[in-house]
Chains A and B, each alone.
Chain A
């Protein structure tokens, strides 16, 4: 098939917007991370690696890093497991299939802030639905103060975020499932392959591009989590649910803009370091149909 070529300047408007609103601020931010930019100072001085040296000495950042990685790993796995499960179920010829697809996708379009406030009520130790349901079903011994118990607070936030984003993964997997030729699955069924065999040998390998998109998006999104943690726990109790962005926010609020920008840049490096190998590995296992 002949490939038509278009003039390069067609890309200039998009390129200009990208340069102006993404690359330029990023480069300026990169510069500021090497300065002592502070709301209380009249001038901004270049301080070299001072911010980074200070950053690596900060125990709070280590807590934030650990929590961010736990959060990202759990959300990425659970979001994809739930999303894939929902997609497989709602890809079948069910009554109310479209309605159910909409219902499961709906949390994704609601603001995380709103969801956070709703779940604060749901998790309330005395009046919350979760503990009431547990008591109703005779599981009162499992009732907790879900957001204030330091051992489980982070996992309560993870659960809430998975509930919010699983519908998005479902939609991507559903789209991937539409691209799998029906004759492949039907002929394997005629040949006597069970559902699990069909899933393992046909559906799962052919869903690889959807996996790549979903895993990468959920990983990057969950490493940048802020609103959900902020509304539900404000990083507490203590620092037990502190993540990168709650730490960055607290540094910005004290007017240490240069230092906060350096922390932000660390997050960018972290996302890149984790994201690129994952992307390469996942692209490798994609198969051409």
Chain B
């Protein structure tokens, strides 16, 4: 064994060195990200200004696969014609989009630009101050966008890290007008009226409501759209601010508990389809299109889906919308701001990506977008040929009877809400579901190290 000593020492030394190197890297979450994370200077030479000198580049643009890529592809074709630069579109799975983006950021695999859900909570997720290009002072951009969208994007410290792009969306109750006409019911005047109409629809042999519990996310819509009509009027904006700081518990809001009880009531009255646990978003569209289902608590993403399946005339003539009614009136429509375009400061072609965004929000491209995908515009003087359901939403907005989704107003998320609701559909325990909903919200705030949650 006397000859073993040098070899043993060498191996020990190598292991110690490698372990130390590993520890050194892992002991800090963000040190590498902070050193050179200042936003790209706004005075950086743009690719278009230097187009004559530079070789064309290919930009990578990441979107969720739940987003319709058609309008983007049209805009990018125009962009290529004008600059020679290409845009490679990468669609990531919608359910894992946020996690995949966080992973890409943590491994330094930055796209040149990406489209993400709206709201400043994304800034926390992506550590925006260190990683994303800041747009706060770009007046050329903000002069094109309606002021409320800018206000929505602005953080408490007055910073903006994303440029909104797309349309104002809506959650509410989408219904088949033919079914309503056949049964002789109208959009409801209040919640009791909705339940009475649903009972009449059931008596006529048609399923009043459909819920896609199997797909996890659809049952959440009931609560988000129910919130603006029932919870917001009770707790007001001050209450939402208290939730933001954990000074109020979700479990302590009676109106929220009432929403759980309302969903249980619909289930107990047999107003949902049979075997609600097996319900899917896809089947819901098919049954609603065929007139076998009257209504669904849903988001406006259903409009292009129904158009694909049943054609434009169906969406134009037979699809209706009304907000989730309150106990006393027809309710408030829920608005969702559009997605936001973001650029990592360390993106390979960050300057070209910024130019691309400026190109995308030019009046011609904005109109091209709305021609391809009609929606309620967020750009000044933009024109869009709205569907009747979208006109209905716009009427609510214009009448001041619309409010932004509470999820877009809060930094912590309603973590695992879909799981809570699946369990709720299994056991029907209102108190347990409300407690879990509230606890998970607090856990998310704590995990994000937000003030008030520690």
Binding site for B on A (CB under 8 A): 7-9, 12, 15-16, 19-20, 24-25, 28, 32, 37-44, 125, 145, 148-150, 234-240, 250, 253-256
B449 touches A41 (CB 8 A): yes
> Do residues A237 and B102 form an inter-chain contact, with CB atoms below 8 A?
no
Please report which residues of chain B, range 172-231, place their CB below 8 angstroms from some CB of chain A when the two chains form the complex: 213-214, 216
Q: Is the CB of A255 within 8 A of B102?
A: yes
Residue of A nearest to B103 (CB): A253
Q: Are A236 and B22 in contact (CB under 8 A)?
A: no
CB contacts under 8 Å to A, within B423-441, are 423, 425-426
Please indicate which of the listed interface residues A39, A145, A235, A250 has the most CB atoms of chain B within 10 Å of its own CB.
A39
Known contacts A12-B8, A237-B213, A254-B444; is A39 also within 8 Å of B29 by CB?
yes
Q: B27 and A12: CB pair below 8 A?
A: no
Known contacts A28-B22, A41-B29, A254-B444: does B277 contact A237 (CB below 8 Å)?
yes
Whether the Cβ atoms of B448 and A40 lie closer than 8 Å is yes
Alpha-carbon distance between A37 and B22 when the two chains are bound, in angstroms: 15
Residue B248 lies at the interface, judged by CB distance under 8 Å to chain A? no
Q: Decide: A256 and B419 in contact? CB cutoff 8 A.
A: no
Shortest beta-carbon distance from B108 to chain A in Å: 15
Is there contact, CB below 8 Å, between A237 and B214?
yes
B22 contacts A15, C-beta separation under 8 Å? no
Q: Are B23 and A15 in contact (CB under 8 A)?
A: no
Contacts of A24 in B (CB 8 A): 15, 18-19, 22
Q: Does B1 contact A (CB under 8 A)?
A: yes
Q: Mark B1-33, 1 if CB is under 8 A from A, else 0.
A: 101100110010011001100110011111000
How far apart are the CA atoms of A37 and B18 in the complex, in Å?
Answer: 21
> What are 25 contact pairs spanning A and B, CB under 8 A?
A7-B3, A7-B4, A8-B4, A9-B4, A12-B7, A16-B14, A16-B15, A20-B14, A20-B15, A25-B22, A38-B29, A38-B449, A42-B29, A44-B29, A145-B275, A148-B213, A148-B277, A236-B419, A236-B422, A237-B277, A237-B422, A239-B419, A239-B423, A240-B426, A253-B99
Q: Which residues of A contact B278 (CB under 8 A)?
A: 125, 145, 148
Given contacts A145-B275, A240-B426, whether A250 and B29 have CB atoms under 8 Å apart is no
Q: How far is the CA of A82 from the CA of B112 in the complex (A)?
A: 53
Instruction: Tell me if A148 and B449 are in contact (CB < 8 A).
Output: no
User: Is chain A's binding surface mostly helix, strand, loop or mixed?
Assistant: loop
Q: Which of B4, B423, B447 contacts A256 (CB 8 A)?
A: B447
Q: How far is the CA of A38 from the CA of B1 in the complex (A)?
A: 46
Please encode chain B, from 409 to 427, with 1 for each CB lying within 8 Å of some chain A CB and 0 for all others.
0000001100110110110
Measured as residues with beta carbon below 8 angstroms from the partner, the interface class of chain B is 35 or more
Tell me the total A-B contact number using a CB cutoff of 8 A. Answer: 95
B106 at the interface (CB under 8 A from A): yes
Alpha-carbon distance between A25 and B25 when the two chains are bound, in angstroms: 13
The closest CB in chain B to the CB of A234 belongs to B216
Neighbouring A residues of B416 by C-beta, 8 Å: 250
Is B67 on the interface with A (CB-CB < 8 A)?
Answer: no
Q: Do the beta carbons of B15 and A19 come within 8 Å of each other?
A: yes
Hey, which chain A residues are within 8 Å of B14, CB to CB? 16, 20
Could you say which residues of chain B place their CB within 8 Å of the CB of A237? 213-214, 277, 422-423, 425-426
Q: How far is the CA of A237 from the CA of B426 in the complex (A)?
A: 8
Asked if B234 is an interface residue, CB under 8 A from chain A, the answer is no
B51: interface (CB < 8 Å): no
Known: A44-B29, A236-B422, A237-B214. 4 other contacts (CB 8 A): A20-B15, A28-B26, A39-B29, A237-B213
B246 to chain A, nearest CB (A): 15
Looking at the assembled complex, report how far the CB atom of B415 sits from the nearest CB atom of chain A, in whole angstroms.
7
Contacting residues, chain A, for B287 (C-beta < 8 A): none
A150–B426 contact, CB under 8 A?
A: yes
Q: In the docked arrangement, what's the CA distance between A44 and B213, Å? A: 39
Closest to B6 in A: A9
On whether the beta carbons of A40 and B275 are closer than 8 Å, the reply is no
A48 to B30, CA, bound (A): 23
Complex CA distance for A145 and B279, rounded to whole angstroms: 11
Q: CA separation between A12 and B1, bound complex, in Å?
A: 13
**B124 adjacent to chain A (CB < 8 Å):** yes
A15 → B minimal CB distance (Å) = 7
CB distance from A14 to the nearest CB of B (A): 11
Q: B435 CB to closest chain A CB, in angstroms?
A: 10
